[in-house]
Chains A and B, each alone.
Chain A
Amino acid sequence: MQTTAAEKIFVKGNEAVAMAAIEAGCRCYFGYPITPQSDIPEYLSRELPGRGGEFIQAESEIGAINMLLGASAAGTRAMTSSSGPGISLKQEGISYMAGSELPGVIVDIMRAGPGLGGIDASQADYWQATRGGGHGGYRIIVLAPASVQEMYDLTMLAFDLSDIYRMPAMVLADSVVGQMKESVTPNPRPQVALPAKEWVVRGRSEGEPQNVVKSLYLGDGEMEAFHWKMQARYQELADNECRWEEAQTSDAELIVTAFGSTARIAKTAVAMAREAGMKVGLMRPITLFPFPRKTFASLSERCKLFLDIELSTGQMIDDVRLSVARDADVAFYGRPPGAGSLPTPEELFEQIKKNYRVRPEQSRI
């Protein structure tokens, strides 16, 4: 998209999330401070009240997620944000929201763990985010921005997808994307056909039918029916909402795959490999749930070697392995998160060289 310099703003990734939330119509924010995401509540505490919204610093992360549940049940677009330890505390509430089919946006600016861990960038909460970190066997929508522009755009998308599919949506990033500043075009809220808010709580005095927000299903077959309905919805998500970025994959002998900040670093490593005459491509999932399985499957029909790179000891690699053809190899390079472990493009280029091999002609279809 061509834009002039004047239209662009220069902001932190975390600020872009907060700005996008307001633009998307979010009118309630509940949170509790934690590094490296505190710029989000800082911005919203300043800007949201003047824009007809409510900002509440909750007594805890558990308080904040349950306020999100309540605001959503009342039909308000609402958001919370946190990092590692705080996101763990929110899991009970996220499970209740999933069980109640309530929308709502949760932003997770990952930090190193377990426990208090550290404030440096991490991708080690991929499993927690994509497997439904709370109890009961559910999934939530998970979007993984790799730039400040995507922090802005995907936050707006998270609100819309959350409403359309009636489930919580998470923006999953880390302190690289959260803390860095980039030139960004503050796009207007996309015009999307949204469903009527059938989830909103309604008392009998407001007329029939009454609508109770609950996640308790005791009737014979009721719980099972809920799960089958959700499974169908997850399938619908997989069919319609997978998003990814592919670069130079058409002739690739090796496809690097990574998400978020790591993909950003890997993309430059791929460019270095191309300059060195190696046929290397990049596949970056943008939706982590739904995971773009079909794209991996079709890429692996032709390319038989993948290199999965993560700022963890390997989590997304599970989904990559489940997606590619059986005769495709998936190599791995990752570093546990923490101070000093963020890889450089030069380092990833070395890993590409180490794993790269050209398949002999006769083994091709």
Chain B
Amino acid sequence: MRYDVFFAGYGGQGVLLAGNLLSYAAIHEGKNVSFFPAYGVEKRGGAAMCTVVFADGDTGSPVVGNPSVSVLLNQLSFDKYSVKVKQGGVCIVNSSLVETDGVELPGVEVVLVPMNQIALDMGDVRMVNMVACGAYMEKSGALKSASLEAALKKALPERNHKLIPANVKAMEAGARAVRG
């Protein structure tokens, strides 16, 4: 089985950390992984995106034109990338920041998750990327929550390990939001 997921948002939303986290979780499950980042020269506010591909065998192209799952965290990335989601694919949208009214995506399942709101309710809006990862995990069924938890230790620097329990809760909240 080969999974691909595209994450996009603005710099500062933790898009690249989310991609790293999924990558470490996939490695934890013994998969081969490619993580292909692209971002603007700005430290914050520019466009940030990454493509993660994981598979038991060859991961193939690190570049994906029509992703199976896209997780789009802001309006700009929704406007630009929602139309690229593969037929039969899933578009997970941060409905706290994205207005989807009037946009038709035939053949694509659109999943609205108020990620900023959930993160705020959990205590810190900066956990928006963890909420997004939880939503992806639940919707795709591609990775186990235990793997993501183990991945946090690898993806976060040691000094932030004290935040792991809060991040795990944020992921669970993201997953719950998708289960409805």
The interface of chain A, by Cβ under 8 A from chain B, is 4-5, 8, 10, 147-148, 176, 179-183, 261, 264-265, 267-269, 271, 342-347
Q: Which residues of chain A are within 8 angstroms of B66 by Cβ–Cβ distance? A: 344, 346
Decide if A182 touches B65 in the complex (CB within 8 Å): no
Min distance, Cβ B72 to any Cβ of chain A, angstroms: 18
Decide if A10 touches B37 in the complex (CB within 8 Å): no
Mostly helix, strand, loop or mixed at chain A's interface?
helix
Min distance, Cβ B32 to any Cβ of chain A, angstroms: 6
Say whether B153 faces chain A, with CB atoms less than 8 Å apart.
no
Decide if A180 touches B32 in the complex (CB within 8 Å): no
Say whether B34 faces chain A, with CB atoms less than 8 Å apart.
yes
Q: Which residues of chain A are within 8 angstroms of B59 by Cβ–Cβ distance? A: 182
- Among the stretches B22-30, B88-96, B107-115, B161-169, the one at the interface with A is B22-30
Decide if B65 touches A183 in the complex (CB within 8 Å): no
Min distance, Cβ A215 to any Cβ of chain B, angstroms: 40
Tell me the count of chain B residues lying within 8 A, CB to CB, of chain A. Answer: 24
Q: Which residues of chain B are within 8 angstroms of A148 by Cβ–Cβ distance? A: 34
Say whether B129 faces chain A, with CB atoms less than 8 Å apart.
no
Compute how far the CA of A147 lies from the CA of B60 in the bound complex, rounded to whole angstroms: 10
Compute how far the CA of A306 lies from the CA of B20 in the bound complex, rounded to whole angstroms: 37
Decide if B37 touches A345 in the complex (CB within 8 Å): no
The interface of chain B, by Cβ under 8 A from chain A, is 20, 23-24, 27-37, 58-66, 154
Min distance, Cβ A173 to any Cβ of chain B, angstroms: 13
Decide if A264 touches B23 in the complex (CB within 8 Å): no
Decide if B33 touches A180 in the complex (CB within 8 Å): no
Considering residues B23, B36, B59, which has the most beta carbons from chain A within 10 angstroms of its beta carbon?
B36
Decide if A182 touches B34 in the complex (CB within 8 Å): yes
Decide if A182 touches B32 in the complex (CB within 8 Å): yes
Compute how far the CA of A86 lies from the CA of B20 in the bound complex, rounded to whole angstroms: 31
Decide if B36 touches A183 in the complex (CB within 8 Å): no
Q: Which residues of chain A are within 8 angstroms of B29 by Cβ–Cβ distance? A: 5
Decide if B65 touches A344 in the complex (CB within 8 Å): yes
Complex: chain B residue closest to A147, CB-CB? B34
Decide if A176 touches B65 in the complex (CB within 8 Å): no
Q: Which 8 A-B pairs have the closest CB atoms?
A: A344-B65, A268-B61, A346-B65, A268-B60, A181-B35, A265-B61, A180-B36, A5-B30
Min distance, Cβ A56 to any Cβ of chain B, angstroms: 27
Min distance, Cβ B36 to any Cβ of chain A, angstroms: 4
Decide if B24 touches A10 in the complex (CB within 8 Å): yes
Min distance, Cβ B42 to any Cβ of chain A, angstroms: 14
Decide if B62 touches A10 in the complex (CB within 8 Å): no
Decide if B63 touches A176 in the complex (CB within 8 Å): yes
